[in-house]
Each structure stands twice: as structure tokens, then as C-alpha cells.
């Protein structure tokens, strides 16, 4: 899927909705940082990222983060993996507002992605991560005996929250 | 037992009759790369890994008959576990775009059983393997020069499923892949972290090799200089992500 970006302005906040694959063909939008105090990156539509994309991302994001408050919203798994693996992928001072966590039920053979809002569904207390999300009441499944389980290693996937 | 660079004793011994095959247990990804770079092994096969017997048999076959690997890597890796109806082969020339291969591979993954947890990572690995293959095949100073006439040659993307593993990879018809460079790039990313490797001038190819090794279960590579390079990986089928994360890695090289 081809990379594209759409901009929305909400007062002093610029919301950038990014979609598609972040790779060698991705053309990142220029951001007029002097016009905004905050930039929100809505990453819901990001389908994939490759190594060239990581390098380009790092070059694009660093100067933006140096000038405005930066927030990542709706981070898909692919972005969470990079946030954990690449120091600076989430620049210092930037924060994650929400991110997806995969849940899987072996009985139904069904995967669902839950959107965790930081501070509500997951929080850091005393240096450790506490999950407050109840998949059985908050995710939709038609099977009555469905047993949704988080399908990531918590210590690894939530690592970025404790940095 | 063999010692790592930092003096730690690794649970790693040579396989009977095949001193280049190391049989390990519980080795970390870093241990595996260090063992290949610093010791005289060309293969590390882990006893507590997935399909140990078939991984070991593939290692022995690659040592005894390397031509068999170049001729049909899928057969060497999957052996009797191969599902013949799942063979995928896509032949590309320099004019063709990566997206065509990734789209076809995405459909292929959707058609297989047990790929739910690996689809995203498999597509990322396929992207890296194809991009690196194309760079080696049609490179000009390490980059694909879109204005220069491409030299003649092909890049083949292949895949096949077995009972518990999916194999996929790329073969180019040039044989210019430098395995020592690839291994050092992976090690650099492990030692410094990806961000520092980027800062120290490591390009996409270096990070890409690390990402491929990090995501796969087994890494296979063979180079016949000036003739062909084959790089492929295995990923598990039918496992959840938590189980996958705990599996140790294997590596197999002919170079």
C-alpha cells in the first residue's frame, strides 16, 4: 500500500494521519513546527515498515521532536516493534497516547487487536507495567466460551512504557 | 563446550564428523552470530529449537553436498516435511517492482494454514530479502541506479510450507553477496543497537540483515561467487507469538 499523509489542524495541534508502508518510496510531509505547539501522529493506517523506512523515519522525526511536543496515536504492532527495537524511533520527550495489542483465542482461532490507551488500559506503576484491560468484556466475539489471551510477550512488547 | 568472546562458556559442541556444524542449546541470537564470526562453525543448530532433526540433516547435507542446496534449497530444508502443493516461485527482472512480489507473497501467506502470527514479520523479511537481492543483482555503487541500463540476470523469490515451518527466500544470478559483511552488520546492530548502527553510517542493508535474522527462526545463505547467491529463512507455522519469541535460532552458511 502506497504511503500517504493527511493533515488536520485542531487549534495549536497538527494531526498528521499517516497511512501505507514506510519504505524507500515514502515521502514524509514537511511540518511547519513554528506554527504548532503539538504534533500528533495518527499511525493507525501504517501497514508495514522496512529498514530503509526506519532510517528515513529517524531523519524525519528528529528535528520535529526537537521543536514541538510529539505524540504517537493508534500505533499498530509494526510501529510498536520498532519503538522497542530502535532507540530514538520514539524520540526522547515524545509519548505514545495509544497502541494496538494483539489478542488471540485458540478455540475460535481468531485474532483481535485491542487499542490500549496509555494511562487507562495500561499504566506504569512503581516502574512496572500494569494492564487494566479486560479482553472478554471489551473485545467482540460471538463464541460464548471464547478465551482471548494477549499474544505478545508483555515484558518485551510493553518495554517502551518503562523507558 | 566453546567460549564466547567475553569468556562465557557456550553450550555448543561440534557435531560428530562435521566440525563446522555446532550443536548448541539455549544459545541467544547474539551467541549464534558470535559463534559463526569468532569460531570455525558454518552451522549452528540448536537442540531445543523447532525441527532440530531436520535442521541438523539440512546442515549435514549442505556440508556434504552444497550443490543440492543451490539446486533446491526448499528440498534440503524441508525434506520429507515439504508440502508439494505449496511451492511458490516468482521470477523477476530488473524492471519489475518489489510490490508485485510482496502482493503475491501476501496472498500466498493468506492461503496457508498457521500463518496468522507470522504474516507481518514474513512480509517484512520478504521485503528485506528482495530489496537486498535486487541491490546485489542490479547495483551501481551499492544502490539501484534507475537510470543505468540493468545488467542481465534474474532474481527468484521462492517459498514452500512444511508441517511446522515456512521457508522463503531469494536467489540471484550474480553471486556477489559478501557473507562476512552481512554477519558483521548483524553483529554491529546487536552490539551497538540499531539506532547507533544507523548513526555510525550503517545503511538500510545492515539494519535489514539484522531485522531478517531477528525475525526468523533459521537463516540459510549460500554464495557461489560470480554465479549465484541464495538467502532464505524459516518461520514457524501454527504457533502463537509468545511461543515463537522463546524459540532459539539456527544458522546455516555456505560461503
pLDDT, tens only, B20-69? 999 999 999 999 999 999 998 999 999 999 999 999 999 999 999 999 99
Q: What is the CB neighbour count within 10 angstroms for residue A137?
A: 6
Query: Is residue B164 scored above 60 in pLDDT?
Result: yes
Mean pLDDT of A129-139: 90
What pLDDT score does B136 carry? 66
Residue A84 shares a structural domain with residue A105? no
CATH number for the domain spanning A64: value is 3.30.750.24
Interface mutation target, options A50, A60, A75, chain B, most CBs of B under 10 Å: A50
* Inter-residue contact A22 to A48 (CB < 8 Å): yes
Among A55, A78, A96, which residue terminates a domain?
A96
Nearest to A48 among B124, B203, B205 (CB): B124
Distance from CA of A11 to the nearest CA of B (A): 34
Q: Per the CB < 8 Å rule, is B194 touching A54?
A: yes
- Are A30 and A89 members of one domain? yes
| Residue A92 and residue A25 in one domain | yes
A112 and A47 co-located in one domain: no
Q: Point out the residue among B120, B128, B242 whose CB comes nearest to the CB of A151.
A: B242
Domain count of the fold of chain A: 2
> How do the domains of chain B map onto residue ranges?
74-254
Residues A83 and A32 in one domain: yes
The CA distance from B63 to B69, in Å, is 10
**CATH architecture for segment(s) B74-254:** 2-Layer Sandwich (3.30)
pLDDT-derived band at B151, boundaries 50, 70, 90: low
Same domain, A132 and A114: yes
Cα-trace Rg, chain B: 17
Does A158 fall in a domain?
no
A27/A65 same-domain check: yes
Q: Are residues A90 and A115 in the same domain?
A: no
Q: Quick one: A5 and A68 in the same domain?
A: yes
Task: Give the nearest partner residue to B198 out of A23, A58, A109, using CB atoms.
Answer: A58
A58 and A106 share a domain? Answer: no
Q: List chain A residues with CB under 8 Å of B118.
A: none
CA–CA gap between residue B238 and residue B171 (Å, rounded) = 27
Assess whether A55 and A108 both reside in one domain.
no
Residues of B in contact with A106 (CB under 8 A): 240
Domain boundary among A68, A96, A124: A96
Within 8 A by CB and 6+ apart from B218, the residues are B49, B55, B77, B165, B233, B234, B249, B250, B251, B252
* Residue A19 belongs to domain spanning: 1-96
A23-35 pLDDT tens trace? 999 999 999 999 9
Q: Is residue A156 part of a domain?
A: no
Residue B177 per-residue DSSP state: -
pLDDT of residue B3: 73
Residue B139, SS3?
Answer: strand
Smallest Cβ distance to A78: which of B120, B193, B246?
B120
Residues A62 and A125 grouped into a single domain: no
Q: Tell me whether residue A160 is in a domain.
A: no
Residue A108 CB-density burial (10 A; 0-12 exposed, 13-18 middle, 19+ buried) = middle
Does A15 reside within a domain? yes
Nearest C-alpha neighbor of A157 from the set A97, A101, A93: A101
Question: Mean of the per-residue pLDDT values for chain B?
Answer: 90
Nearest 5°: the CA angle B183, A86, A125 is 135
Which residue of chain B has the CA closest to A150?
Answer: B242
Amino acid at each position: 500500500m502506497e504511503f500517504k499523509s493527511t493533515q488536520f489542524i485542531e487549534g495549536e495541534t497538527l494531526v498528521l494521519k499517516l497511512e501505507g508502508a514506510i519504505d524507500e518510496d515514502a515521502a514524509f510531509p514537511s511540518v511547519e513546527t513554528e506554527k504548532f505547539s503539538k504534533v500528533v501522529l495518527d499511525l493507525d493506517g501504517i501497514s508495514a515498515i522496512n529498514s530503509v523506512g526506519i532510517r528515513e523515519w529517524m531523519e524525519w522525526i528528529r528535528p520535529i521532536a526537537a521543536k514541538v511536543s510529539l505524540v504517537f496515536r493508534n500505533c499498530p504492532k509494526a510501529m510498536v516493534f520498532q519503538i522497542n527495537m530502535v532507540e530514538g524511533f520514539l524520540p526522547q520527550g515524545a509519548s505514545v497516547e495509544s497502541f494496538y495489542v494483539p489478542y488471540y483465542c485458540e478455540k475460535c482461532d481468531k485474532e483481535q487487536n485491542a487499542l490500549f490507551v496509555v494511562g487507562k488500559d495500561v499504566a506504569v506503576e512503581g516502574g512496572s507495567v500494569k494492564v487494566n484491560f479486560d479482553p472478554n468484556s471489551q473485545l467482540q466475539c460471538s463464541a460464548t466460551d471464547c478465551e482471548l489471551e494477549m499474544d505478545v510477550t508483555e515484558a518485551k512488547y510493553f518495554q517502551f512504557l518503562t523507558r | 563446550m566453546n567460549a564466547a568472546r567475553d569468556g562465557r562458556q557456550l553450550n555448543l559442541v561440534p557435531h560428530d564428523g562435521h566440525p563446522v556444524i555446532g550443536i548448541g542449546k539455549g544459545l541467544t541470537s547474539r551467541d549464534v552470530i558470535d559463534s559463526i564470526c569468532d569460531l570455525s562453525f558454518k552451522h549452528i543448530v540448536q537442540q531445543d529449537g523447532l525441527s532440530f532433526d531436520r535442521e541438523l540433516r539440512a546442515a549435514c547435507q549442505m556440508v556434504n553436498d552444497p550443490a543440492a542446496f543451490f539446486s533446491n534449497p526448499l528440498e534440503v530444508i524441508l525434506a520429507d516435511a515439504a508440502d508439494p502443493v505449496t511451492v511458490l516461485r516468482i521470477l523477476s527482472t530488473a524492471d519489475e517492482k518489489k510490490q508485485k512480489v510482496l502482493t503475491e507473497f501476501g496472498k500466498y501467506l493468506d492461503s496457508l494454514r498457521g500463518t496468522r502470527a507470522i504474516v507481518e514479520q514474513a512480509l517484512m523479511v520478504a521485503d528485506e530479502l528482495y530489496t537486498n537481492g535486487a541491490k546485489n543483482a542490479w547495483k551501481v555503487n551499492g544502490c539501484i541506479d534507475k537510470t543505468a541500463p540493468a545488467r542481465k540476470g534474474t532474481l527468484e523469490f521462492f517459498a514452500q510450507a512444511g508441517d511446522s515451518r515456512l521457508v522463503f527466500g531469494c536467489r540471484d544470478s550474480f553471486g556477489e553477496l559478501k557473507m562476512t559483511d552481512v554477519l558483521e552488520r548483524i553483529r554491529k546492530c546487536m552490539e551497538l543497537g540499531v539506532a547507533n548502527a544507523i548513526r555510525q553510517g550503517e545503511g538500510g542493508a545492515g539494519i535489514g540483515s539484522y531485522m531478517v535474522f531477528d525475525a526468523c527462526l533459521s537463516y540459510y545463505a549460500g554464495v557461489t561467487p560470480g554465479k549465484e547467491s541464495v538467502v532464505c529463512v524459516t518461520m514457524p507455522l501454527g504457533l502463537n507469538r509468545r511461543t515463537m519469541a522463546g524459540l532459539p535460532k539456527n544458522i546455516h552458511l555456505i560461503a
